[in-house]
Chains A and B, each alone.
Chain A
Amino acid sequence: MRISSTKSRFLAVLSSAALVATVVVATPAHAAAVGPICDKKVPVQTCQGTTSDGAPYVMMVPANFNGTVALYSHGYRYNIDLPAGMLPSVPTGYKVTNTPEPIPGGNPAIASYFLGNGMAIMGSGFARQGWNLDSAVSTNVELVGAFKTAFPTTKHVLAWGSSLGGIITQTLAEKYPTLVDAVAPMCMADNVSPELTAAGDVLWGIKTFFDPTIKGGNYSAGAAGNAEAIGDIVKVLTVLGSLKSSMATGAWPATSSASGKALEAAGVPSRSALLLIGLMAGLPTQSDHFDSISGPDGALKLSFPLAISPALAVLENAASAAVLAILATQDVELQVGGAVYDNTKTDYSARVEDSAVIYNAALSGNTAINAMLAVLNPANPGAPRAKGNADAMAKMGKLAATTAKVNVPTVMMTGVADPITPAGATQRVIDAYATQLVAERNAAIAAAKKSRSYQAPTKKLVVFWSTTPKAWTTFDSTGAPIASSPAVSGTNHCTFSTANLLTVAKTMVGAGTTGKFPTGGAIATAARKSGNLSVDKNFRAPLLKYYNEQ
């Protein structure tokens, strides 16, 4: 009963927090910090304020505050309004928002865990939306200072975040290791260059094969650029819709390029070209509803997973990522003053060397693969490569970025088939930490030779892989795949259950308050109990394609 009662009180608190956030959003940007102004309520007081860069924030502090606070950083939010009807997920249109988000997705169970155990939570809505790594880290640093000033009994600061918020969290720990005791970057985005390279590859591929009128980048400044980006969203989603409807026949969209139409005439199905785009950009071949394993009973039992399902998965993933890919490209271009995607030197044949073997049947065989790669060849005048603006790209290189160094106890969680923040971003941290740990061990051995006392370096990284079920594509009585159910674990973007989030939260809290992680066995048990999580240290996610070309 006590638990229920506590939970309902926290739920009520969260509702009021949302109200507060709405009020804060209406507050104009401040040149100086405001607040925090606390309502002094019991059992949880809510404080609101604005950092000096104008970012609204919320702090929620229980009456029995034990000195631990968790700072959450939310993920990417579009930085331009989108009209009604454009996004199925927001039918009434999208409005830019800087509503503070102190816990992932406003999840009351997560809030209850922290607040019910005497911990505070906080988060801002950031001063600007879009790719905001630099400013968000500054906002968070200021927010931690504001919290400590308001609550001087603070002993432990934890930071966690999702997607773009994941890389904000990781960068915070890299730049300010003494500010945080433990961090948890979840479904972490990679740095801006590899992310936008993947986005650009998808957009350029769709443009090259299916609709040459797509800009795919190099957008104009101001309202004209917004219109171009929105125009691209419409065109890309239209192409994907057309590809979906012709998945079985392999017909090409009416808007296809001359090269695309030539491929169609040569008998290459459009689904194979779509799959090739996915493979060359590094999109997963498993998605919300398509496992690339299952087939309907009957004639398509084998040919569906072999020849069609991988393309459907890429289509579903491309649809999930397309809007973000376009708007993030436009946003970063605006920040740095020009086009940032450049594939003049990209060798797409090398990119797909291994995956073209694995998905050979879905790509319609080597003859078709070679024909498609010939279209993508720089020598083909029908497929001009995108050239970036050198100054803009140099400026992009100076935006904040992670080195993947692990300074404090770090808990990571990511989906193995996340199409927006690929698992490779997490793999990069794992690889860097492996090198770091060797160096730390060598240093410890060297120190022990002098001191005659060996102090093994403390393990600072735990990674939870969010895995997919064994098979999940389902079919109706006619053999058609069912694509209306929610995405399964491991697929889509940051698809984590509440249990998964709690597992990460508890592991982070434990590490942040004790300075170390439990044993590997305890971590593995926690993963198993959480469901669909794995700590398989031999699993290896492919790095983003960008890294293999640097």
Chain B
Amino acid sequence: MTRMKRRALISATAVLAVAALTAATVPAQAAEVGVTNSTITLGMTLPMTGTASPGYNKIPGAMKAYFDYLNANGGVNGRSINLKVEDDQYVPTQAVAKTNKLLLQDKVMALIAPLGTANNKAVAASVNPARRGVPVLFVNTGFSGFADTKKYPTTYAILPSYVMEAKIMAQYIKDNFAGKTIGLVYQDDDFGTDALKGFTQAGVTFAAKIPYASGSQSAATAAGWVTKLSAAKCDVVILFGVSSATAAGLGTAAALKYAPQWILGSVGGDATTIKAAGVPAGVLYNAVGASFAPATTDMTDEYVKLFSDIYAKAVPGSAFDNNVLIGMNTAFVAAQALKAAGTNPTRASLLAAIDAKGASFASAALLPLNYSKTSHVGYNGYWFGKYSPTGDLKPVDGKYVLYTTDSGSGAVVKSTWTRPAMPAKGLPQ
């Protein structure tokens, strides 16, 4: 044996010895948290009670309805999906406490559809899912910052950002209400700030710009909005807040006989929720709304048909509305992500699967998902419609005209994307 070969052998032996000893100090790979041979447990926080809860509190029921349907059809690679739901009342500190419970006590594999900008920011700062390697799937907020893969590496947005929505809304206003006096009511936090960023970028000028602090929305505060909006002689008023703020604004305005052309932001535009808060359907009639999903009354849409059938059986008597559709769609996308994560999914393989394949996941939305290793942006556009006499949002002239843009300085353009056919039985393939 030559000297060189012997030295190489010694070196290789030493490396192997080190590797073996190092490996000996590392515990054997445990089964992933929240994954058993028969189940995968996910957890979500959202307001199930309290001021901001109306409408959104239907989302867990909708997601469970889809997961039950999925489980009855074999689940994901033989595992059924179990969803743990915690009520955070839209209070950030509650979201932190409840997320800690989900992760440390309930030991969920991933967080799914947690709702609210401030709540998600609080959880990111205090619970730190990224540091723990916990996937935060499809946050229920359009705050553009959550698509920042450096700051929130395990978080995935799904809703189009508020910046996108505002930019597209601005385009709609230019196309349909040019020369009108515009007013805006918005939530005075990052939710609203994101929207303001979009409106500013699009060059919209407001005659009245009225912020409201989260949690302060009520008939009394809305009366103040109406006073300011009517004093500014606003012809068109955008309500860019949560559903309870939309309902307070519409209801109070109707009572005070103030009737501008309303434009409702998608977050607070669910008709069932608004009507449930006591706003007559007639007040909603002809208001403009936006959505990235098909109209919930469009039974020609294969997703709407399937999801509404599933929901009707799971939650009899509960209206199939936009929150339900989005909730079921989120569950459907999550199922595909878990399927793509492999036969023995881990948190890491789930994240990798979304990065690698998320852009090709099927979904009910009329716009594509934009996931990749460098992008955690979900959907990227909207169509606009008007509320019918019964309070249902429908595309103008029955035709979806989809606009798309980004959260930066990109232009607003019409989308040419065509949604692929739904997988068989609406199950992950």
Contact = CB atoms under 8 A, between A and B. Distances in A.
B192 interface: yes
A345 interface: no
Contacts of B118: 357-358, 360-361
A23 B215 CA distance: 61
B22 A454 contact: yes
Contacts, number: 105
Interface in A468-500: 470-471
B132 interface: yes
Contacts of A471: 97
A302 B215 contact: yes
A380 B298 CA distance: 57
Interface stretch (A27-35, A150-158, A167-175, A364-372): A364-372
Nearest to A416: B126
Given A305-B93, A305-B94, A360-B190, A448 B214 contact: no
Given A366-B189, A452-B17, A454-B18, A358 B122 contact: yes
A470 B105 CA distance: 12
Interface string A523-547: 0000000000000101010100000
B104 to A, nearest CB: 7
Interface in B27-71: 50-51
Given A305-B93, A456-B25, A538-B132, A360 B125 contact: no
Given A365-B188, A448-B17, A536 B104 contact: yes
A112 interface: no
Contacts of A361: 118, 189, 213-216
B34 to A, nearest CB: 15
A458 B14 CA distance: 21
B131 A540 contact: yes
A285 interface: yes
A540 B128 contact: yes
Contact of B15 (A358, A364, A449, A536): A449
A29 B15 CA distance: 61
Contacts of B93: 285-286, 291-293, 305, 310, 358
A520 to B, nearest CB: 9
Interface in A256-309: 285-286, 291-293, 301-303, 305-307
Interface string B178-196: 0000000000111011000
Contacts of A286: 93
A357 B126 CA distance: 13
A193 B125 CA distance: 25
A216 B183 CA distance: 45
Contacts of A536: 104
A26 B89 CA distance: 59
Contacts of A445: 18, 22
A365 B221 CA distance: 14
Given A306-B91, A540-B131, A454 B189 contact: no
A293 B126 CA distance: 14
A360 B15 contact: no
Nearest to A467: B100
Contacts of A470: 97, 101
A354 interface: yes
Nearest to A301: B50
B407 interface: no
Q: Which of B92, B189, B214 has the most chain A CB within a 10 Å cutoff? A: B92
B73 interface: no
A161 B21 CA distance: 37
A434 to B, nearest CB: 12
A219 interface: no
Interface string B139-180: 000000000000000000000000000000000000000000
Interface string B190-221: 10110000000000000000011111100000
A453 B20 CA distance: 11
B18 A305 contact: no
B13 interface: yes
B121 interface: yes
B344 interface: no
Given A306-B214, A540-B128, A357 B121 contact: yes
A540 B124 CA distance: 11
B91 A448 contact: no
Given A448-B17, A452-B14, A454-B17, A306 B215 contact: yes
A358 B124 CA distance: 10
Given A354-B121, A454-B21, A360 B91 contact: no
Nearest to A538: B132
Interface in A328-380: 354-355, 357-361, 364-368
A310 B215 CA distance: 15
Contacts of A452: 10, 13-14, 17
A456 B214 contact: no
A357 B189 contact: yes
A450 B212 CA distance: 68
Contacts of B296: none
A136 B190 CA distance: 48
A285 B21 CA distance: 46
A307 B189 CA distance: 14
B409 interface: no
A302 B13 CA distance: 65
A286 B104 CA distance: 20
Nearest to B145: A357
A528 B214 CA distance: 38
Nearest to A307: B215
A367 B214 CA distance: 12
A12 to B, nearest CB: 44
A240 B25 CA distance: 54
Given A302-B91, A360-B118, A360-B214, A449 B97 contact: no
B25 A354 contact: no
A365 B214 contact: yes
B363 interface: no
B117 interface: yes
A58 B363 CA distance: 74
Interface in B116-136: 117-118, 121-122, 125, 128, 131-132
A366 B11 CA distance: 62
Nearest to A447: B18
A538 B127 CA distance: 9
A367 B216 CA distance: 14
Contact of A358 (B51, B121, B192): B121
Nearest to A540: B128
Contact of A538 (B50, B117, B128): B128
A226 B296 CA distance: 72
A358 B119 CA distance: 7
A365 B190 CA distance: 9
A291 B128 CA distance: 20
Nearest to B117: A357
A445 B23 CA distance: 12
B14 A293 contact: no
A77 B198 CA distance: 55
16 contacts: A285-B93, A293-B94, A301-B50, A354-B125, A359-B92, A360-B118, A360-B190, A360-B214, A361-B118, A364-B213, A365-B212, A448-B14, A452-B14, A456-B22, A470-B101, A538-B128
The 3 A-B pairs at the shortest CB distance, nearest first, are namely A365-B188, A365-B213, A454-B21
Interface of B: 10-11, 13-15, 17-18, 21-22, 25, 50-51, 89-94, 97, 101, 104, 117-118, 121-122, 125, 128, 131-132, 188-190, 192-193, 211-216
